[in-house]
Structure 1
Amino acid sequence: MDLWTFQRYEQPCLCVDAVEHDSAAAAISLRSGTQTYRLAFDDDQAAAQIAAELAALRDSATPLWVTLRDSEPGSSWHVLGTFLDTHSLISEGRNGAAQQLARQAERIHDCVANTVAAAFQELSAEQRQLAARHAQTLLQGLYRAAAIGPLFEPAGDPFDAAVQPNFFLALLAAELECFRRSSPLTLAATEMLLEAVAAEERPASPLRQSLADAAGLYNERDLASHLWLVASALAMSTGADAARFATSPIPAPALVSGLEFMRQTELLTRETLDLWGENPYLTAINKLNGAYAPLVAGPFIEQYHVTARFVEIIAPLLSMRLADPLRAMMFRYYSEEYGHEALESTTCQALGVAEATLRKTLPLPLHFAFVDVLTLLAGLDPISSFAAIMVIEGIFGEPPKMSLRLMAAARQNQAFGHISGEHDELNETLNHNSISRDMFECIGAVSPARQAITMRRILFLLELNHRAWGGIADFYGHQDQLRLQGEFGTRLAPGG
């Protein structure tokens, strides 16, 4: 962290109730509320001069502030400025709070309007009507009271295909809960977006209060990414492929140990993935026959966005009062994952994507959602989160098929191959696809009800992951020259 100094104020101003000169004692008193600070001097002439100068400092426009701000550490002026600041007697004279809030609200309104216009421009009239009905349904659930027990249990769980058969509406229900927990500003903006799509005018809700609470608190680029996610998912909820995928049936639950539950979850995962077959991205990359194309770069660009937020998936578990072995493993997992986005950024640069461009891009919606849902599950239930690590790191014993295909397609780019291989080797060396088994080895029992809830969540995550890879194929697969996603679906050249 940077050390704060009084020289960082833009318009410093001495903020005291009174500057009093006591000529008999050759002293100055600074009064601020109930606090009084006395400065003693060797002679009264110096005290009188300093008292006058302190009085002048109550005006931020006085040239004396330039002297203080330009003073060198250790000088008398610097010592004085430091004393005043460390006793909270300097205020920032520049107060643009109202303008900051107004500009933030204007940016958010513009972002909502532009997002809706871009995301729905290609929908048919029938799809727009359906999207409006879906938006109305989501608005009704937006104002639910905070759940006392674990969210979504036991009824009304959107991860359960029997409860919500539309995959994208289930995803949006989870996203709204993410916003409620992590970004009230995004939740308020989402309310505005849903009202715009539903063509409804509602009374101002308490959610909008966050627009006037603070400026500069929440990440507005994340807000824009989330609004694009919400609008895209709402548009996709009107499509013919919005229905949840068929899955292998959840086994009849019985009370078992954690390790046995994980084994059954692995079997359910394998059977379900076999049922779905190859994901659209693998199908597309196989058609390249080893040639390089923008399609190859797509996963690394999107993985950068995932990796930059990856520790968020682990962080909720660090505050839980887990058993000592589980807690130790979670802290170790966090430390092993922290900072990996630097590797992903270097990989993207090897593929010709400038770092400045990478920072301007918005992640594809379903990849961004993947991190959100994993983070939500970590906060809801450690059992689900431990099992979900398998979806992230791969099933125990399975080779990294996707990485091998990508390496083959980009084998002519030696710099890329070296950097990408370094990340894969790191994960293999750290045994990350063993983590789920390691965690469940410590868990003596998992109830039948908890097993069913967790397996439904894993099936949802598997489908989200499958669809996210399909999103990469759709976005990058038709490109002759690499382009990245910018705001409102615009395309950015990799070099900027």
Structure 2
Amino acid sequence: MTIGAGDDAVDLSFEGVARDEVADVVAQLMRPSSGIWLKLNEGECPAWIRALTEQLDALSLIEETDCGIDSVTSETEHAGALCAQVGRRLAVVVEKRLAMYRDVLAAVQQMLANEAFDREQATTAFPFSNEPDGPFTNNFALQALHFQFAYARRNAPELLLAWRRVLDEVFRHVGWHPSTAAKDASHDSFHSVASLDPTDLQTYLLSFAHFVEIAPLRVGKRVTSAQTGDSSEPCSGLALAARAERLLLKALDDLGSNVYAAAALASDEITPLVKGLYVEQYHVTDRFVEILGPLLSRRLKRNLRTRLFRYFQEEYGHEAFELATCVALGMHEADVRASVPLPLTALYIDAYTVLAHRLPTAFFTSIMVTEGLRDQHSPVHEHIAALVERAVHAGDIVAKHGETNDELNHPSLSRLFLADIPHVTAADQRYSLEAALFMLEVNMRQLESVAFFYGDQTQIRFHGLHEGRRPLEV
């Protein structure tokens, strides 16, 4: 049987079925509303009709109709509703102190609109460290947004449209627009936001709102600072590692104890504070191998590349340890997987990914923060590990994870990586040390956000906007 004419003609071959019967079924299939599609989906059609649709599909003759477009439209409307919901929440905060937020909103809008801004900052000093004055100076929240915007431009440009929609909602609600405010994205362009995973969209909408909210507040200011500008001569990677270790140890002493450490050490039970830490660690490990992606494609020295690929293999699958621990502590696996990371957890992942793309030495120097400094022990980690080891079935999982990291000598990874880099320019030294300090602050704030969000819970509630969950609030 032949369908079509001329160059568009295709042949279908069947045995034991009348040509007229095949033609009748093809005619029904051409009508999207035909009941034959419902019968196909419910498995009520003869085998030859399913074989016919398989032939048609193999010939690319079956296409999505308006029902597919309706699905995209529905997902776009859902994404728009989420943006509006987060925008309204942020607007309530901004409206109370609009004078305080004007400069922040204008700066954030400029960052979103100007792609060259990210490129210029990436090729000079660490973000905003060379600005003597202005809204970005010593502002942790705006530096955090810088990293998340840089991450989105490379990995999820649809987020830029979503964030602009949130800002537009804020501007409309408070009745004020900066003079440089861009026009709202067209409805057609906003359709691309529907391609984002709904959990990711929630993650980045809530993260964006959080950092905008704290930007003009005292809690939004940088708390780590050190003189890194005296690097005027090139050095070896090992020399950079030694200097970074001294710098981070001093910064840790200056920072002192944090809220999470104090709360965890005071607890002798498996509380939501402890469970929440493993939820957030799951989110980090679930995406940690993505962080290494930009480094794996670089033409680095063979020994360094070998070490990087080994690191990738060692980290791949570690999220299973964290997820298994969460389940052993009484959480449902589906709930953990569907939970939305806290804003500082998302930043932790994004900033490392951006550093891996921008400058290998900055990444290698900064991973001291996540893998631990050599010969340093954490009383908090040891206390929590002891608590969890007493929990049913969880001890073996936690012990296995810790033993794996110890066997692989992760606290020395930073030195091992940098040992294969013989020459580091003065500019790269400064950037790498600033990056290490920034990531130390991200790590400290991430732990404190865990304490703030989970610490007062009696029964664990996950982060998010729906199904009884709640977003992080300042």
- The alignment of Structure 1 onto Structure 2 pairs a total of residues equal to 459
| Cα 1:433/1:106, change in 2 over 3 Å | same
Equivalent residue, structure 2, for 1:11: none
| Cα 1:315/1:42, change in 2 over 3 Å | closer
Cα pair 1:152 1:158 within 8 Å, conserved: no
1:486 shift after superposition: 2.9
Give runs of aligned pairs for residues 384-395 of structure 1, distance below 5 A.
384-395=362-373
| 2:208 is aligned with 1:230 | yes
| Cα 1:155/1:448, change in 2 over 3 Å | closer
* Aligned partner of residue 99 in structure 2, secondary structure: helix
* Aligned partner of residue 245 in structure 2, secondary structure: helix
Residue type of the partner of 2:73?
A
Cα pair 2:364 2:418 within 8 Å, conserved: yes
* Match among 176, 180, 183 for residue 204 of structure 1: 183
Question: Higher relative CO (CA 8 A, sep ≥ 6), structure 1 or 2?
Answer: 2
Partner deviation per Cα, 1:373-400 (whole Å, 9 max, x = no partner): 1111112222212222222211133235
Equivalent residue, structure 1, for 2:150: 177
* Aligned partner of residue 485 in structure 1, secondary structure: coil
1:416 shift after superposition: 2.5
Q: Aligned Cα RMSD in Å?
A: 3.3
Partner deviation per Cα, 1:53-77 (whole Å, 9 max, x = no partner): 545543455666678774999x655
1:175 shift after superposition: 1.5
In terms of fraction of residues, the more helix-rich structure is: 2
Whole-Å Cα distance in 2 between the matches of residues 489 and 383 of structure 1? 43
| 2:110 is aligned with 1:140 | yes
Which range moved further: 115-124 or 478-487? Answer: 115-124
Equivalent residue, structure 2, for 1:186: 159
| 2:74 is aligned with 1:107 | no
1:145 shift after superposition: 3.7
Whole-Å Cα distance in 2 between the matches of residues 399 and 414 of structure 1? 26
| Cα 1:41/1:322, change in 2 over 3 Å | same
* Match among 317, 337, 343 for residue 321 of structure 2: 343
* Aligned partner of residue 66 in structure 2, secondary structure: coil
1:474 shift after superposition: 1.6
1:459 shift after superposition: 1.0
Residue type of the partner of 1:83?
Q
Equivalent residue, structure 1, for 2:340: 362
Equivalent residue, structure 1, for 2:124: 154
Equivalent residue, structure 1, for 2:57: 85
Equivalent residue, structure 1, for 2:248: 269
| Cα 1:255/1:144, change in 2 over 3 Å | same
Whole-Å Cα distance in 2 between the matches of residues 402 and 32 of structure 1? 75
1:192 shift after superposition: 1.9
Cα pair 1:258 1:441 within 8 Å, conserved: yes
* Aligned partner of residue 393 in structure 2, secondary structure: helix
Equivalent residue, structure 2, for 1:21: none
* Aligned partner of residue 252 in structure 1, secondary structure: coil
| Cα 1:50/1:191, change in 2 over 3 Å | closer
Partner deviation per Cα, 1:250-299 (whole Å, 9 max, x = no partner): 273221111221121111111111111122211222233x3443222221
Residue type of the partner of 2:429?
Q
Residue type of the partner of 1:29?
T
Whole-Å Cα distance in 1 between the matches of residues 264 and 95 of structure 2? 31
Cα pair 1:68 1:81 within 8 Å, conserved: no
Whole-Å Cα distance in 2 between the matches of residues 486 and 67 of structure 1? 39
Equivalent residue, structure 1, for 2:417: 439
Which range moved further: 128-137 or 432-441? Answer: 128-137
* Match among 425, 428, 436 for residue 406 of structure 2: 428
**Structure 2: which 5+ runs fail to align?**
none
* Aligned partner of residue 90 in structure 1, secondary structure: coil
Whole-Å Cα distance in 1 between the matches of residues 289 and 129 of structure 2? 23
1:347 shift after superposition: 0.9
Q: TM-score, normalised by structure 2?
A: 0.85
In terms of fraction of residues, the more strand-rich structure is: 1
Whole-Å Cα distance in 2 between the matches of residues 78 and 100 of structure 1? 24
Rg comparison, structure with higher value: 1
Whole-Å Cα distance in 1 between the matches of residues 13 and 327 of structure 2? 61
Which range moved further: 223-232 or 45-54? Answer: 45-54
Cα pair 2:127 2:146 within 8 Å, conserved: no
